[in-house]
Structure 1
């Protein structure tokens, strides 16, 4: 296999990230187009010959989620009908990963429905980043590589040389991954006891386990939408004596008044990746973006050359 057989296509939700990945791989971005008709229908077309090629399709699912997910399925179908050798779907942010279980009566397990749709459309492999629930990998009957943003974010945070740092998980569910941040940064771990009572995208912090008094706190999580939980945890940390509060998030979705909440909160800096090309045209001055293009480019290169990608998880 040589690089001439590799094609990277960018869906409309991930054009910037796709271009960055191609720049790193030193290949041109594939030629494709999307047409949106007045009633909402989507039309996708690959404008180059991809017969027998190994195609890597980069498409997040956000802004708008459903349109971009349907576009993803249409791209897979178009590529399979164009007789490609394989389709590897690169989903930097898999929005419906939040729907990973039946925790109320008469509800859909949305992540499983999406996984089945991606498989049925003809995908051969999925590469994603920090799935909200790792067990979603088991919803697929094809290989899934769930990459970690922690090494990329930790490198940026470590460069700040923040003294007397404590890593804070916003809930028990993220404690395992937060422990990995703490290990990499050589810091202790604290865990907030967060309660969510409805689907309003807000939560209440009931308690905090761990010592933060006199320390500089770093909240870590996989995603934020409204920034409500971040702001709430930050207030609790300052009330418990933290000298300062920063945060690091894999996926900065940022909707509605997220930037206002962030600006009004005690958080001094928020590191996020570029997995989501956001609806917000202007971000708070507190937001610092770290690119995951090198991580995805390395994963694509290794998959393409049939090399192990296990080192990317270390």
Structure 2
């Protein structure tokens, strides 16, 4: 691990420290300065010449600042003659913008992918992209890790467990949870009519009567969908409701909605750590640091990381 350096951006300092503990290396020494006019300044305070650098940065809270900071880190390391720069982006906030689904709009995920490449990244490691095809926006290697094994372990197994997808779009991934947990699958049919981040559940496919339901999803922002699906599950006879979400992107009144909902426990990972709200006692955080540390180690030793996708 002599040539390995792991730096953390402003969006993932705690996760970076946890990753470094697993790798048994010290976090890289760097600094970020925010000037009064909004400009960002980044600097590595140690020699990176000829070293393989790994920079950890989730691009959220604030999304634009953290994304620009990430680009500046990549450029700084390349200009300091790092042998390579690998980006670890636990949560890619613009991953939701993966298609042109209405006139005169930008495919923002593609723009961000091109910017990361132009800045000089050699590889990207991320987790639970909103759409797997986003990997195709890059021409460099992309490893999209899964939080499923860690969240499934936190959920545990149960005789009367049922896994619930909050919409048809996540059904394929939810089925993987169901298979892993040995449970049947139910699917909520929801409708989203605008950009208000609110959705309406209009139907529920599957039997949840008398069962312990677990809603699974890749991210939540307002907790509105989770709360509404939970209400629908209780109305259909579910005995209890929990939820497991990879990215806890909590804003506004999300915690109030969670506390007022029938959800007894919400499992989230630590891919997002700068939420502007105080987390509810119902939220339980599962760390993905071991998974990212293993990915870094395998990439650094030029070993296959396919075992991490099993």
Name the TM tier (shorter chain). over 0.9
**Residue 233 (structure 2) aligned to one of 231, 237, 258:** 237
Secondary structure of residue in 1 paired with 2:245? strand
Cα distance between partner residues in 2 of 1:20 and 1:157: 22
Query: Where in structure 1 are there 5+ consecutive unaligned residues?
Result: none
CA contact (8 A) 1:213 1:241 kept: yes
- Equivalent residues in 2 for 1:153-168 (5 A)? 153-158=151-156, 161-168=157-164
CA contact (8 A) 1:32 1:44 kept: yes
> What is the match of residue 69 of structure 1?
67
TM-score, length of structure 2 as denominator length:
0.99
> What is the match of residue 37 of structure 1?
35
Question: Structure 1, residues 75-108: CA drift from partner, whole Å, max 9, x if none?
Answer: 0000000000100000000000000000000000
CA contact (8 A) 1:220 1:249 kept: yes
> What is the match of residue 309 of structure 2?
313
> What is the match of residue 267 of structure 1?
263
> What is the match of residue 119 of structure 2?
121
Cα distance between partner residues in 1 of 2:302 and 2:201: 45
Cα distance between partner residues in 2 of 1:230 and 1:281: 17
Q: CA deviation at 1:282?
A: 2.1
> What is the match of residue 178 of structure 1?
174
- Equivalent residues in 2 for 1:210-289 (5 A)? 210-289=206-285
**Residue 207 (structure 1) aligned to one of 181, 203, 206:** 203
Secondary structure of residue in 2 paired with 1:60? coil
Q: CA deviation at 1:301?
A: 0.2
**Residue 47 (structure 2) aligned to one of 37, 46, 49:** 49
Cα distance between partner residues in 2 of 1:162 and 1:43: 51
Q: Size of the alignment, in residue pairs?
A: 310
Q: CA deviation at 1:156?
A: 1.2
Query: Where in structure 2 are there 5+ consecutive unaligned residues?
Result: none
Secondary structure of residue in 2 paired with 1:70? helix
CA RMSD of aligned residues (A): 0.7
Q: CA deviation at 1:281?
A: 4.9
